[in-house]
A and B are shown apart, each in its own frame.
Chain A
Amino acid sequence: MAASRTTMENEDNIPEYEYVDVNTNVFHIGSFQSEWLKRLSPQEWSYQQQDETEFDANFAKDMQINAQTMDALKSVCSYDSLCCHPEEEKPDMETVPEDSILRTLLQRKKRQDYKASLKIHKNRHDLYAEELDRLTVVRKPDTVTDMLPEGEIILTINIYYPAVFDKFNYVRPHMTLLMTGSHTLAELRDAICCVSDLQVCGEFSNTPDVAPDFTSKDLYKSAFFFFEGIFYNDMRFPECQDISMTIIEWAKSHNFPPYSQAGMEDTRFSDLKVKVGFPYLYCHQGDCEHLVIITDVRLTHRDDCLDKKFYPLLIHKHRIATQKCAVCHIFIGRWFTKNDQFAPSDPCLFCEKCFRMLHYDSEGKKLGNFVAYPYVDRGAFN
């Protein structure tokens, strides 16, 4: 049943459902990899595809059947025998067939008819959805050293946007990254793009030119991941602090089970013990908290992007509607002003160009009284 909980430690590292279709029990990723490799022949996980004739010959030998039977078998099982349409008429793949008995198609037909009745044919999501697809096509590396080793593990990781924005509680926007088992958690941290890393603190109405030099990422470098009771702290730089300590001590004083710590930069994914499908935490900038879910762990495949340089590979990114400049309504807002006599509202957003034109004279001298803060749009990474 779905609720059968296994509290037992998973000794053999074969992932099983903890809750059906939701998440698995804890397993060690490195051992999971070796379990697969143990069960498969090198041929099965190699990138090389066996020659067709060789395959047939091997099959005939294995099954002890003669060439005649083999030919008959091949013709029966060939893919060409699957065509539902006569050869001369090529079916139209784009339209939903009219007279189908399949329920999927009946519903799709309804939806297509409905869409055709709309004035707008493609919405924002339809337009951009094809863009990232192009990134994930097979890329073969130029040099052998850049080649992903055969039998390596690939993890699919969803990083959710922090739920600071009301709407995010319903749509759960996220980005999806592909990582290999040899990547460290620090590399995952560097691959996560979050606008709170780009924020600039301070009021810069007098010196607008120097503002964007200090982002929060440079100032506050501490961060941690939390997987299965262990805090993985980023300690690569001298200014990094152990920001998980507060939580650990709090937990200790409230009789929670003890938590431990480890270094983010020393931990590779293959060393981790995790549940697939279970939400974990990434916390940076003190309180910017992202859920992290490992949705899939698998061996590499010949159709994957095999160039190491492209990893961590971004394969999905949610696009957030950007907020535009109050003046031109074209460019994304870069400045945020208050007590501004030129602005139509308080507070108000301006793009770089409109902000300069409205608030400074040709020599760059500040006009009037206002305070201005650099603004980073939520959709800055779109």
Chain B
Amino acid sequence: MAFDGKFRRSGSELVKLDCDYLLGLFQKTESVRFEVFTKIWKETKFSEIFHGTLVHENRPFSRLVLRVAYTYFVPPHSFQIRVGGLYLLYCLYFSQRASPPEKIHIALKDWGDVKKFERDAVEAHHYDIVYILRQLMHTKAFYFSAMPMELSFKKYKNHQAPLRCEKFIERASRPQELISIELLDELSNVHSHYDKLKGSVFSESEHSSSSVNLIQKDLVPQLRSTVVDFHTWQQKRSCLKPEDDSCVPVEESGEGTASHEETNKRAQLLASIKTKAYGQATEASKSRRHRQVELELSNSVEAETLNNQARPNFKKRTSLKSRICDSVHISGDIEKATPKTTVIYRLVTVDSEGPGQTEGGNKDVQNSGGDKDTG
């Protein structure tokens, strides 16, 4: 916060930081209850955000705040953050100083999402969510508009792409949803049925021939373990997140001369590389599989087992691998590193495979602090 004095940020950035902070607290509670939200709202005295504006600033400021809050209410944020966004809109709308109150612009393209959100809330019996959404509708707090903000072809001098707080974004859950217990049951039934049918068609002697035994015997358990692996990997990743965040200020304080803006950008860059890296770690290219790095794990035994489990499963996803592998490369010698774990600190992209690869590999070794442990 001490950096704000030196580097003037735009109003919307500041409001966004404040909203991130509030919703971060809300996320920690892992609740979607309005009482919980109001408690945080009161603790942070968030309604004071409207205090001290000049009379003619009221309206533009309300518009700005509502515009920022609206972004949390629509995808790709997780359900909880969207609920938080809705509560935030409700509280802001009723605490604003402009009279008649400034309305919330709701875009036509988002309307379907809003309706789906409402349906989800109704189905889950979250009465407070539905009540507050309907209450906003009832008080006519919305402008049914083309876009969530007024567009005037503005160019910003140092425009940054709107950054989303990554913690708030919904994690992919389709694999878990798709591979349910019922589906696995069904699948194993079909599988055994098919197996039997196939067996009945051929005579006993033919059973030994390869064409009959082509089907994979352990399809169902393998599928299940893949999904479980994916889930644990995702959990691990989300557990790692807070650690990443906490390391950012340390870096900032270490580099006193660097401007806040720069360090901030660097932190974002690092974060983005890290997320790429975590995505990558499981899917190294074939040529690099011998040097594959594993995720940060607390003990080596766990690493060993997970590694063994994970290997065959990830083979299936080679097509995804080929898409990603060009963007980021990881180095680290897994063969040497089996007793120890490798931590990825920094990564370097390589332009192309082939001749550049060794060069890139060397660079990686130079840059990555984690490799020093292993080598």
From residue 115 to 163 of chain B, which have CB atoms closer than 8 A to chain A?
Answer: 115, 122, 125, 127-128, 130-132, 134-135, 137-140, 143-147, 149-154, 161-162
CB distance from B15 to the nearest CB of A (A): 5
Q: Mark A1-24, 1 if CB is under 8 A from B, else 0.
A: 010000000000011110011111
Please determine whether A16 and B47 come into contact, CB atoms closer than 8 angstroms.
no
Q: Is B264 an interface residue (CB 8 A)?
A: no
Q: Is B28 an interface residue (CB 8 A)?
A: no
* Cα separation A55 to B130 with both chains bound (whole Å): 13
Contacts of B46 in A (CB 8 A): 84, 102
Q: Is A59 an interface residue (CB 8 A)?
A: yes
Instruction: Name which of B102-110, B196-204, B268-276 contacts chain A.
Output: B102-110
Specify the main secondary structure of chain B where it touches its partner. Answer: helix
* Cα separation A32 to B9 with both chains bound (whole Å): 36
Given A82-B95, A103-B14, A110-B5, A96 contacting B52 (CB threshold 8 A): yes
Please determine whether B38 and A82 come into contact, CB atoms closer than 8 angstroms.
yes
CB distance from B161 to the nearest CB of A (A): 7
Instruction: Name which of B53-61, B221-229, B300-308, B318-326 contacts chain A.
Output: B53-61
* Cα separation A109 to B127 with both chains bound (whole Å): 39
- Pick the residue among A21, A158, A296 that contacts B146 (CB under 8 A): A296
From residue 19 to 50 of chain A, which have CB atoms closer than 8 A to chain B?
Answer: 20-24, 27, 32, 35-36, 39-40, 44-45, 49-50
Given A77-B132, A293-B152, A126 contacting B56 (CB threshold 8 A): yes
Q: Is A219 an interface residue (CB 8 A)?
A: no
Contacts of A303 in B (CB 8 A): 100-101, 103, 140
Q: Which residue of A lies closest to B60 (CB)?
A: A129
Q: Which residue of A lies closest to B22 (CB)?
A: A102
Q: Is B4 an interface residue (CB 8 A)?
A: yes
Q: Is B233 an interface residue (CB 8 A)?
A: no
Q: Is B260 an interface residue (CB 8 A)?
A: no
Please determine whether B44 and A102 come into contact, CB atoms closer than 8 angstroms.
yes
Please determine whether A23 and B95 come into contact, CB atoms closer than 8 angstroms.
no
For the A-B complex, the count of residue pairs with Cβ-Cβ distances under 8 Å equals: 187
Q: Which residue of A lies closest to B97 (CB)?
A: A93
- Pick the residue among B109, B125, B150 that contacts A14 (CB under 8 A): B109
From residue 70 to 91 of chain B, which have CB atoms closer than 8 A to chain A?
Answer: 91
Q: Mark A123-136, 1 if CB is under 8 A from B, else 0.
A: 00010011001000
Contacts of A302 in B (CB 8 A): 140
Q: Is A298 an interface residue (CB 8 A)?
A: yes
Please determine whether B128 and A107 come into contact, CB atoms closer than 8 angstroms.
no
Q: How large is the interface on A (under 10, 10 to 19, 20 to 34, 35 or more residues)?
A: 35 or more
Q: Is A380 an interface residue (CB 8 A)?
A: no
Q: Is A328 an interface residue (CB 8 A)?
A: no
Please determine whether A298 and B144 come into contact, CB atoms closer than 8 angstroms.
yes
CB distance from B95 to the nearest CB of A (A): 6
Q: Is B314 an interface residue (CB 8 A)?
A: no
Contacts of A21 in B (CB 8 A): 149, 151, 162
Q: Given A65-B127, A301-B140, output 10 extra A-B contacts at Cβ < 8 Å.
A: A49-B139, A76-B34, A82-B42, A82-B95, A83-B42, A101-B44, A104-B11, A105-B49, A276-B151, A297-B145
18 contacts between A and B (CB under 8 A): A15-B108, A44-B137, A69-B127, A74-B131, A77-B128, A79-B94, A82-B47, A101-B44, A103-B1, A103-B4, A106-B1, A277-B152, A277-B153, A278-B153, A296-B145, A296-B151, A298-B143, A303-B101
Enumerate chain B interface residues (CB-CB to A < 8 A): 1, 4-5, 8-9, 11, 14-15, 17-18, 21, 34-35, 38, 41-42, 44-56, 59, 91, 94-95, 97, 100-101, 103, 105, 107-109, 111, 115, 122, 125, 127-128, 130-132, 134-135, 137-140, 143-147, 149-154, 161-162
